A and B are shown apart, each in its own frame.
Chain A
Amino acid sequence: MKFVKTDLGRGDLNQVSKNVQLFITCIIDTLYPEVGEAVVHVLQKAGVSVDFPTDQTCCGQPAFNAGMRSEARKMAKRTIEVFEDSPGDIVIPSGSCTGMVKHGYQELFAEDPDWLSRANKLSQRTFEFTQYLVDELEVVDLSAFYEGELTYHPSCHLLRDVGIDHQPQTLLENVQGAKFIPLPNREECCGFGGLFSIEHPEISREMLERKIDNLIASGAETLVACDAGCIAHISGGLHRRKIEREVLHIAQLLAND
């Protein structure tokens, strides 16, 4: 198990209030590494130093959602082992992966008291990115700046599974220069659902069209979300239909100063 710390200069560590472990999530790792960079910068702006345990891979959600629980358990156990090794809080820039660690693991290990206990211990110090900023660090203003009209799509697992909504909204309200427009029918699912978009592409397409129609109806140029799955799905649909809108992860917005 190796940690690779960015070189901060020892003397400045006295200033640092906290140290967190970043669970980057597979989608951001491969499709949106720049979002990962933004996450690190935002956390540093907020006064924490960031570790990235390089042995991390995947929380196991895709396999769990597919019904392949033994495969999911392999990835979950690994994830628990990687992150329990060090005491720092775990920050995840994804609602669905946070939901997996905090709730999915309880279901996966329901009949294994040892692993269940380890999962629960880990879950207590696991947070979604905006939740960590607002609820734990009590930071709502990252001195971010963005000129334009923004709207926000609450991803379903973030909203309902983990129960986070006012935190991203508060952070967005404090972005200087931005005009915030509410998204019509905001709580409607975008139709990604991970494997659902592959197993039921027809229904997924209809739901995506609805979400895009609502985005267009809002008049906003930029859609902000906290889950890279929704972002890939919605931006992929916009690109295919040649509709020009910006779709950003909230970290990218907050890193912009």
Chain B
Amino acid sequence: MVDTFHKYIRNSIADEDLQIALDANAERRLEARENAFASLPDDLSTYRQRAKRIRKDVIDNLDRYLEQFIQKAENNGIEVHLAADAAEAVQYVLNIAQETESHLIAKSKTMVSEEINLNHALGKAGYKVVETDLGEYIIQLREEPPAHIITPAVHLRKEQVDATFEDILGINCNNDISIMTSVARAELRQVFLDADIGISGVNFGVAESGSLCLVTNEGNGRMVTTLPRIHIALMGIERLVPTMSDLATMLELLPRSATGQKMTVYTTIINSPRKEADLDGPEQRHLVLVDNGRRKMRSSPLAEGLLCIRCGACLNACPIFQEIGGHAFVNEGGEASTYPGPIGSIVSPGLFGQEEFGRFARASTLCGACRDACPVDIDLPKMLLRVRAGGVTLNSKEEKRLVPIHVSLGLKFYTWLATNAQRFSNGLKLAGNLSRIVSPNSDWLWLPGFTGWGTSKDLPRPSEKPFRTRWVEGHIKDRLPVVPENRRLKVESQDHEDLPPTQNEQDLIHRFGQELTTLSGEFEVCTLDELSDRIIEQLQKLEIKTILSWDETQLPAGLVNDLRAQGIGVITVFDPEIKAGLSGADAVIADTGTLVLSLEKGKPQFVSLIPEFHFAVIKAQDIVENISQIITSDKLKQASMTTFISGPSRTADIEMTLTIGVHGPRMVHVFCLLE
């Protein structure tokens, strides 16, 4: 009798499209990760230990950090709702939707929303919910659950997506991924502009400032947290870091582990709803903090699983996930758990129940590839073994274990044999003798399929003279031990890399330009005198005559006047039809090709978000090397929101094929002003 989990596993293995997709995912993700970690300023194990300490500190002192976090967030004007379980969380969202008389809801990706089954409840209550992350959008059209924690459509080939767009949207994309992406962009554009509510997740909450941090690539995360008048953020209570410096450590690890990027295209730090001087941003921000089993798991032997930062690296490293994919992780009724793969095999029973999901942990060879991949150094195999031994009720007399009966009986018998040397020895000899009877002429035993072993292989025949018998009977040949000529290993001394020389401004300019170009951005250096001509040159190439801009007081003196004098229309109020935007930057990071833009008076976010083409003016002296040099700045804690922009928007949600230009700008062109 085969359980549902095994049925789904068999289906996955037999699904050729799925197998091709999963192989491609594993191969590319691993390669990307290896390259990205090479670029870390310090060595990886230092980072991982630091990250583990940070996350462990949070889980160990969760109540204290949560209290601090909530207080700060509320002081900043974010309305915080504490949900004990899924039902409560859903109710909060429904209440907000009702009280604000909303109709259309735009969602960016959040696993917590899957966990609480939010879309279903919103749909039933009559709200229109549109998923805006490309992968989520696709599976919403197909009415499927996500197949992976960070790449929901990993199981699909482009032909399948093409067919879906044809069937549901009536649009022929000619099997071309960039066309499919443009279609998604066009379809969703109006949703962003019309939505009453934007729902997002939160990658990290920062306790010291009450900040919400989101990491995204496509621009939809920025859209839903900036344009609609109401923003609702969903967050698991465990997803905190204590300080902004800790956040920087996480931001250096999460994108690299998840997708091999040094930074995602957009990292957003949100503190409050729009302030009086802001030109954009939502009027209300709500945070729904979800428990839903986390506190219970925290006081269980599986607590280490709560360190997870949802990067998905363990899924990409796991040889079993590579064979069966995310949809195979189902309960007996065939419902997929929100969280599959190695981490899913720990948090699913930890949060939702051992009985329902404990079986996942048995589908592992405990090879440890997941532990190697984990950026916060969670000992996943150890946790999996605890799930096998009863999970939350480890060592309890009432532990429910999902040990199959034949395994349980077999091992009880084996234990009886192994607790007495004579019995053991007799048992081995008996096995050897019996196998000789069964297979008299061969060193091999053929076993039938139902034994498990016999499905794909033969068994070497147990010996009638096991080792211990040979030893006792003195059959092992005497040999005089020889004191060997010692050939010592040459241990090559590892040179610690010299500290890199202090970066001077030229190096930083060069480095920034290099990183930005690698991300498909454009970069040029010029003087202030040359600036307006250079900008006009680019606008002429694009046949653009009007731009959306920051207020002239936030840009180099005289620039806006020069542009207007040469016939360029410069608009500082919101207009979604304008195709180019012009901004400055509050800070610039060379390591990752990043511009940092805070929402403040005269510096609306929409300028760097809505238009297709984003032009940015930076000063060479504002470039720093690394995120840690600016992460503790007050502005990040005080501005209602700040976005770190690293290149044009992108996605690889369809067959892992990179497409530049999704919801955010498809071009970022930076002018660097020399003194």
Q: Is the CB of B369 within 8 A of A12?
A: no
Which residues of chain B (97-141) have a CB below 8 Å from chain A?
A: none
Question: In the complex the two chains form, what is the Cα distance from A63 to B414 in whole Å?
Answer: 9
Contact B368 A161 (CB under 8 A): yes
Per the 8 Å Cβ criterion, residues 445-486 of B in contact with A are 449, 451-453, 455-463, 465-472, 474, 476-484, 486
Contact flags B13-34 to A (C-beta < 8 A → 1, else 0) = 1000000000000000000000
Q: How far is the CB of B394 from chain A (nearest CB, A)?
A: 8
Closest CB in chain A relative to B526 CB, distance in Å: 49
| Cβ–Cβ contact B479 & A41, under 8 A | yes
* CB proximity to B under 8 Å, residues A71-97: 71, 74-75, 78
| Residue B551 interfacial (CB < 8 Å) | no
Task: Write out the residue numbers on chain A whose beta carbons fall within 8 Å of the beta carbon of B367.
Answer: 156, 160, 189, 193
Q: Given A67-B389, A200-B9, A62–B481 Cβ distance below 8 Å?
A: no
CA distance A30 to B428 in the complex (A): 6
Q: Smallest distance from the beta carbon of A66 to chain B beta carbons, Å?
A: 6
B388 touches A66 (CB 8 A): yes
A233: nearest chain-B partner, CB-CB: B457
Q: Which residue of A lies closest to B427 (CB)?
A: A30
Q: For chain A, what secondary structure do more than half of its interface residues adopt (helix, strand, loop), or is it mixed?
A: helix
Distance between Cα atoms of A235 and B445 in the complex (Å): 12
From B395, B420, B458, residue with most partner A Cβ within 10 Å: B458
Chain A residues, CB < 8 A from B469: 33
Tell me whether A65 and B467 are in contact (CB under 8 A): no
Q: Is B88 part of the contact surface with A, judged by Cβ < 8 Å? A: no
Question: Among B320, B411, B449, B480, which residue has its beta carbon within 8 angstroms of that of A63?
Answer: B411
Max count, chain B CB within 10 A of own CB: residue among A17, A48, A202, A207: A202
Query: Would B452 and A67 count as touching, CB distance under 8 A?
Result: no
- Whether B496 sits at the interface, judged by CB under 8 Å, is no
- Pairwise interchain contact B482-A45, C-beta atoms closer than 8 A: yes
**Set of chain A residues within 8 Å of B449, measured between Cβ atoms:** 201
The reply to whether B477 and A41 form a contact with Cβ atoms under 8 Å apart is: yes
A202 with B419, Cβ < 8 A, contacts A33-B466, A232-B459 known: no
A37 contacts the other chain (CB 8 A): yes
Residue from B319, B324, B387, B487 within 8 A of A188 (CB atoms): B319
Q: Is the CB of A75 within 8 A of B467?
A: no
The size bracket of the interface on A is 35 or more
Option from A48, A60, A68 in Cβ contact (under 8 Å) with B403: A68
> Is the Cβ of A239 less than 8 Å from the Cβ of B365?
no
| Residues in B neighbouring A46, C-beta threshold 8 A | 481, 484
What is the 8 Å Cβ interface bit string for chain A, positions 167-199, against chain B (1 contact, 0 not)?
000100000000000000001110111111111
A203 to B465 Cα, complex, angstroms: 33
Task: Report Cα–Cα, A200/B361, bound state, in Å.
Answer: 11
B415 touches A160 (CB 8 A): no
Distance in Å: Cβ of A33 to nearest Cβ of chain B: 4
A64:B478 contact, CB within 8 angstroms: no
Contacts of B319 in A (CB 8 A): 188-189, 191, 207, 210
CA distance A49 to B483 in the complex (A): 11
Chain A residues with CB below 8 A from B414, complex form: 58, 62-63
Chain B residues whose CB sits within 8 angstroms of the CB of A248 once the complex forms: none
With a CB–CB cut-off of 8 A, which chain B residues contact A49? 481
A235–B457 Cα gap in the complex (Å)? 8
Residues of B within 8 A of A71 (CB): 411-412, 415
**A65 in contact with B388 given A30-B466, A160-B369 (CB within 8 Å):** yes
CB-contacts of B370-424 with A (<8 A): 371-372, 381-382, 385, 387-390, 395, 401-404, 407-408, 411-412, 414-415, 417-421, 424
Which residues does chain A contribute within 8 Å of B456, judged by CB atoms? 201, 204-205, 208-209, 237, 240
The CA of A69 and the CA of B482, in the complex, are separated in Å by 42
Given A24-B468, A198-B452, A202-B10: A236 and B479 interface contact (C-beta under 8 Å): no
Which residues of A sit under 8 angstroms from B476, Cβ to Cβ? 6, 37, 40
Residue numbers in A under 8 Å from B368 (CB-CB): 156-157, 159-161
A44 CB within 8 Å of chain B: yes
Q: Return chain B residues, CB-CB under 8 Å to A160.
A: 367-369, 371-372
CA distance A6 to B481 in the complex (A): 12
The residues of B that contact A63 with a CB separation of less than 8 Å are 411, 414-415
* The stretch of A116-124, A137-145, A213-221 that contacts the partner chain: A137-145
Q: Which residue of A lies closest to B381 (CB)?
A: A161
Assembly CA distance A161 to B380 (angstroms):
12
* A115 CB → nearest B CB, Å: 14
Which residues does chain B contribute within 8 Å of A203, judged by CB atoms?
9, 13, 320, 323-324, 363
Q: Which residue of B lies closest to A58 (CB)?
A: B418
Q: How large is the interface on B (under 10, 10 to 19, 20 to 34, 35 or more residues)?
A: 35 or more
Q: Please name all residues of chain B whose beta carbon is closer than 8 Å to the beta carbon of A40 when the two chains form the complex.
A: 476
Inter-chain CA distance A19–B585, complex, in Å, is 70
The smallest beta-carbon distance between A123 and chain B, in angstroms, is 16
Query: A30's contact among B463, B486, B488, by CB below 8 Å, is which?
Result: B463
B364 at the interface (CB under 8 A from A): yes
User: At the interface, yes or no: A206 with Cβ under 8 Å from chain B?
Assistant: yes
| A244 at interface by CB-CB < 8 Å | no
Q: Cβ of B50 < 8 Å from any Cβ of A?
A: no
A107 at the interface (CB under 8 A from B): yes
Q: Is A246 an interface residue (CB 8 A)?
A: no
Asked whether A66 lies within 8 Å of B365 as measured between CB atoms, the reply is no
Q: Nearest residue in A to B460 (C-beta to C-beta)?
A: A31
Residue of A nearest to B462 (CB): A30
- Complex contacts, A75 vs chain B, CB 8 Å: 415, 418-419
Name the distance in Å between A231's Cβ and chain B's nearest Cβ: 8
Judged by a CB distance under 8 angstroms, whether B184 is at the interface is: no
Measured between C-beta atoms, what is the minimum distance from A48 to chain B in Å? 6
CA distance A65 to B476 in the complex (A): 33
Which positions 62-78 of chain B face chain A at CB distance < 8 Å?
Answer: none
Contact assessment for B467 and A47 in the assembled complex, using a CB-CB cutoff below 8 Å: no
A26, A111, A134, A240: the one contacting B457 at CB < 8 Å is A240
Residues of the A chain whose Cβ atoms lie less than 8 Å from the Cβ of B385: 64-65, 67, 107
CA of A161 to CA of B414, assembled, Å: 25
Contacts known (A156-B367, A232-B459); A54 close to B487, Cβ less than 8 A: no
For A12, list chain B residues within 8 Å (CB).
480-481
**A236 near B418: Cβ-Cβ < 8 Å:** no
- Kindly state whether residue B163 has any CB partner on chain A within 8 Å: no
Question: Nearest chain-B residue to A137 (Cβ)?
Answer: B484
How far is A74 from B419 in the complex, measured between Cα atoms in Å? Answer: 7
Contact flag A66-B419 (CB < 8 Å), given A37-B476, A44-B479, A208-B456: no
At the interface, yes or no: B142 with Cβ under 8 Å from chain A?
no
Q: A6-B476, A68-B403, A236-B453 are in contact. List 6 more A-B contacts (CB 8 A).
A: A17-B483, A29-B467, A138-B489, A140-B489, A196-B365, A203-B324
Q: Which residues of B contact A (CB under 8 A)?
A: 6, 9-10, 13, 319-320, 323-324, 362-369, 371-372, 381-382, 385, 387-390, 395, 401-404, 407-408, 411-412, 414-415, 417-421, 424, 428, 431-432, 444, 449, 451-453, 455-463, 465-472, 474, 476-484, 486-489
Which residues of chain A have a CB within 8 Å of any CB of chain B?
4, 6-9, 12, 15-17, 24, 26, 28-33, 36-37, 40-41, 44-49, 52, 54-58, 60, 62-69, 71, 74-75, 78, 107, 111, 134, 137-141, 156-157, 159-161, 170, 187-189, 191-210, 232-233, 235-237, 239-240
List 27 contacting pairs A-B, 8 Å CB cutoff, sorted by A: A4-B472, A16-B483, A17-B483, A24-B467, A30-B463, A31-B462, A33-B465, A33-B466, A36-B470, A44-B479, A45-B482, A47-B483, A52-B471, A57-B417, A57-B420, A58-B414, A66-B407, A68-B411, A69-B389, A75-B418, A161-B381, A188-B319, A198-B452, A200-B9, A202-B9, A210-B319, A239-B444
Question: 9 tightest CB-CB pairs across the interface, nearest first?
Answer: A193-B365, A67-B388, A236-B457, A198-B452, A160-B368, A36-B467, A205-B456, A156-B367, A189-B367
